[in-house]
Each structure stands twice: as C-alpha cells, then as structure tokens.
Amino acid sequence: MSERELRRAGVLKRGVAGELKLVQAAELLAISYRQGKRLWRRYREQGAAGLVHGSAGRSSNRAYPERWRSRKAGRLVGRKYSGAPGERLGPTLASEHLAEEDGVEAPTETLRR
C-alpha cells in the first residue's frame, strides 16, 4: 500500500469506529462527499485491501517487454556504446545512436535503468 492509501485507511477506520462522520472523513482526505461515500462503502466491504489501486503491481501498457529491454538494447549498448568511464555514452546519447545507427527505438529512461 502507498502512503496515501494507508492514510485513507486510517481515516476510514476512525469513521467506521464512529469517531468521524463521513463528511468529516471526506474533508480530512480532501475529497468530495460523493468520493468519500464510495471509499467508505469499499472500505466496509473489503477492508484496507479495497483501497489499493487496481493497477498496483502491473506493468505499464506502454512498457517494452522485459526480454527486449534486457537483450536487444542492453546488448547493443554494452557492445557498441560502453567503454572506459570517460569514453562511454550517457543514456540520452546512447538512445539517439541506437535510433540512428541501429534502428532500435529505446527510450532514454529504459537505458538509464
């Protein structure tokens, strides 16, 4: 769970215990009354697990497959664009060279990782 989800769970726990009303809980969470009502219902039905974002733990739809990242881009960068610390290319320049010379579109952030 993220910090935000833990905070929500704490506030909603106080609400279920009767310490807070739904309006007060929504104000503390800086959400609308309607959103608070939805969260309140989910918390009562599923507990804290119901507050976890549905996409948590999944990879992005735009992410390159792990095999591609580790094999193709990694091999090319390791073979062609690495060297001694003063000679190797940074991720931005390596990404540009991969696109121009090898026809492989590799985002800078992928190479940085």
What are the tens digits of pLDDT across the range 39-78? 888 888 888 887 877 777 777 888 777 666 556 666 677 6
- Long-range contact list for 68-72, CB < 8 A, 24+ apart? 69/106, 69/110, 69/113, 72/104
Task: Provide the percentage of residues in the chain whose pLDDT is more than 70.
Answer: 70
pLDDT at 87 over 80: no
DSSP for 46-111, please give it: HGGGGGS-TTTTPPPTTPPPHHHIIIIIHHHHHHHS--STTTSPPHHHHHHHIIIII-----HHHH
Asked if 91 and 98 count as a contact pair (C-beta separation under 8 A), the reply is: no
pTM across the whole model? 0.48
